[in-house]
Structure formats: structure tokens, C-alpha cells
Structure 1
Amino acid sequence: MLLHRILTALVLLPLVIGGVLYLPTDGFALLLGSVILLGGHEWTRLAALTSPPRRFFYLISIAGAMVLLHLLLQDPTLSLGLFIMASVGWLVVSWQIVRYRPDQSAEPGQAGKLLIGYFVLLPTWAALVYVHGSGETGPVLVLYTLSLSWVADTGAYFAGRQWGKVKLSPHISPKKTREGVYGALAAVGIWSGWLIWLRPETGSMPQIVLLCLLVCLVSVVGDLFESLLKRQAGIKDSGNLLPGHGGILDRIDSLTAVAPVFTLGLLLLGGL
């Protein structure tokens, strides 16, 4: 399994980096849109939507929404409003994750889960496309946004494996530990130094470090949220498209929370 994960990562990483750095923003938007649609297809599995016509309609609606968002992103005020709403949404999800109990929490119905899919997937696309088109350093900032979720996941994995004892949320994901979260925070705290060095105009050192640590915590919520939906659906992975990794959603679960929150932070700091 670990070998499969490494091999898949070695194949995907150059493609991701090349697509981010060398595609124009419209090309990047199309490439990312295809990834989001694959994630949307997997989301129908989480929502137990089995009818092919209804699945097709759901994906068409996501594609149409991305076209609309592409037009709205031209307006800075509307963009800011979108990322504020998405970030507040993740704050609500964080609260729901903290207070979740299997015997006390109501599970959303199919329609509710499909609506949640819009909330999770569309702001991710909008945030990354917005950052990519924000100037000469936009593509590099997109890579940094992606790297935040990668670094957090890696730090959590190794710290949890080495020192993990206290369960973080046993009702949702029994393998995740508080020590893993501490490892993620430590790794991201160190990684924030790269942004400070690369783009000092983003903000002061305390502001950048604090933003990255906040985003790290949000990445944990994104991971737990998808784990909860998979548990409710009775499945281990969202799909099997990526050998050793599962599906698209299994790879971007943290990013769905990271992207809009980090973009909002950059906007509020005046870094975009």
C-alpha cells in the first residue's frame, strides 16, 4: 500500500506542479474543473445517489456553477463575499465536528448531502483559480496553498504514527490522534517560513505564521468531515481512481477547507 502511494505521488506531483506553473489561468481553471467534476462524481457515492441521469445532472450543475463563478470572480467584492461565506461554513462544520456524537447527531438526507457537495467543492475551485490569476506570483501561491495541506497531512501522519496515543475523534476517525494534530501544527509552523521568505509582502511574520496555523487546524476539519461522510455512507474510500490513495476526494479533503480559508486570509492581509 505504501509503495502504491509513493508511486502514485511520484507520477502525479510533476503533473500537478507543471499544470499550476505553466498553464494560463483559464487552462488551469479547466484542468482543476475536471478534477472537481471527478470529485463531484465521487460525492454522489457519499450521498448514495445511484441513478445515472441524476448523477449526470448533478455534475452538469457543478460545471454550470463553475462557469458562473468564473464570471463572479472578476468582481473583488463578490469574491471576498464568497470566501467569507465558505470560511464561516467551515467554522460551522468545525463546531459540528467537535460536538458530534453518533447517537445524538442527525444525519443529513440525500438532498442535504448533495447541497453540501456544492459548498465543499465549488469554493475550492473558485479559491485556487482566484489565487492563480492574482498576479505573477499567483501560480506559486497556488502551489503553496496545495503544499499546506500536504505538509499538514505528512506532519500528522508521522507524528501520529510515532507518538499518537490520545484519540482525536474516535467516533469519526479512530486512527487520528491529538499528537498527530500537534505534528501537523509543528510542520506547518516551520513551513510558514517558506512563505515569509518567498513573499514577505504577504504580511508580517506573526500574521503569516498565525494564518498558516489556523489553516492547518481547518485542514484537520476538512479531513474529519470527509471521514464522517464516508462512515455514514459505509465506505472506506471515496473511490479507487488513485492507487494507494483511494479517490479524488480522499486526496483533496483537507484542501477543500484549506483553499477558501487561506485565500480569505491572504485577501484580509492585503497579500492578493
Structure 2
Amino acid sequence: MQEIQNLSLPRTYSDLKPWLQEHYRDLPKRLQSVAVFALHNPDVIALNTVAVISEQAGVTPSTMVRFAKSIGYKGFSDMQEVFQQSMRHVPQPYSERLSSMQRPAVHEQSVLSQFSQAAMESISRLEQQTDEAAIKQASLQLAGARTVYIAGQGRADPVVNYLHYTLVKLGIHATLLQGTSPTITDKARMLRPDEVLVAISFSPYTANTKELVDVCLANGVNVVAITDSTLSPIARTDDYHLEVLEDEVNGFRGLSATMCLALCLAVEAGKQRAERQESSH
């Protein structure tokens, strides 16, 4: 496979994430799966050998090397240094890994224990890795909007309803954008530039939500996206997107960290709205 031409090789993880988002569709399918794994598990990439990483990613070590070279790195170790540099800014990564190693085997844990642990780790990762400035920027869009429209389906549905409930309680005019395609798309076309769409979608992502984002951005309507990956189809360079990843337990993913993020977004928007109202008096 030919290497993707890259005049500016990403040397920090914060640079690598948008680079992968931009070039994701240029990668072969196999390398796309590696890209998703790498962005979801930066600590695994940073702290393990290529053999261990490839086993967890479900690919061969040579595929990991191909992935690194496709970006423009000399080899896997060259790329790994980028992930290792990013881990230096994450509080206590080694203590977290040690705590995980000391946990009892899954079959010895109760269901409550398994899901509680997954929820705690998901929320801890949210706190450590989420840029608070990004939350504030997104909340400013909600606070300044005439109406906040909220859309999401499937696993995102509880988050949609909770965010709507909280915004309304905080005095922000919010509306659920619901319906079937193409009706819901027609509704999205009616949004105005002084309104905002909050789009929520998680893997495997819903086509309807992506279409709503496309329509709104094309019409100059700001979009705040809550999703689980930089490579998500609703995470764009021209919107305000927040990433949240939930730990799995035997294939079941909770919403603990996602609900926490939604609450933070709503409360911050409420604070911003209240400050604006006070300054106008």
C-alpha cells in the first residue's frame, strides 16, 4: 500500500486525532479498524508491545507496522512515541493499570460490581481526557441559541431525553427533533442560523443523525455533536464535537459517562445563559 502523502507528520496525539479523521476514508478497511482501535485505546498503544497491541486489536503485528507507515512514521516505535508523549499528560496512568490488574477475574465478580467498575472507569477517563474548554465552547452555542434542537436514536435516546429535560428545567428553550426519514430531515431544513442542533450518535451510528448534521451544517446552523470517536461521521471539523467512550462489560455498554457529559453541558449552558441575562439588566 502506498503511504498517504503527509507534509506535516503528526508529532502529538492532539495533532494525530484530527489527521486520522481527515484521512480515515483513504485508509484500507483493515487499517481503518486499527485507526478506530488506536483512538479508543491510546493507553494500550502507548504502554504495550506491538505483539500485545495487535492481539487486542485483532490484527497481525505487520498490520500495525503498515498502519504506522501509512501515516508517514518510520515504523511502529516511531508512532508509539506519539502515544507515549500523550500519556505523560494523563494523571496516574500506571496506577490505573495496576488497579485493573488487581481486579478479580470476571467470573468472580457480581454483575453489579462489573458494571459499577465499568462506569467508574468511563467517568474517570472522561474527566482526565475531556477538554473543559471544548465543553465550554459547546455550551456557549446552547446558551446563545434561540432554540436548541436535540436528535439521536437507539442507544442515544436516553441521553437525548435527559438532556432535553435538563435544558428545559434550566430555562433553555429545547425541542426534540423526532420523526422518520425524510420527515425529520425536512424539519432540520427549517432550522435557522440562530438555532443549534445537538446530535448524539454512537457506533454503529445512525444514518438519520448523520443526515441531520449534514443538512444543518450546509445551512449555516451550528451543531454540537456528542459521539464516541473522532472518526464518527458526526464529528466534523466545522462543528463542536465532544467525545465520550464507555467501557464494555460482555458487550454491554452503559451510559454513565455520557450522562455525566450531557449534564455538564446543560449546566454550563444554564450558567452561561444566566450570566447573559444578568449582564443585560
Taking structure 2 as the reference length, what is the TM-score of the superposition? Answer: 0.25
Q: Whose RCO is larger (CA < 8 A, sep 6+)?
A: 1
Q: Which has the larger radius of gyration?
A: 2
**Where is the helix percentage greater, Structure 1 or Structure 2?**
1
Taking structure 1 as the reference length, what is the TM-score of the superposition? Answer: 0.26
**Where is the strand percentage greater, Structure 1 or Structure 2?**
2
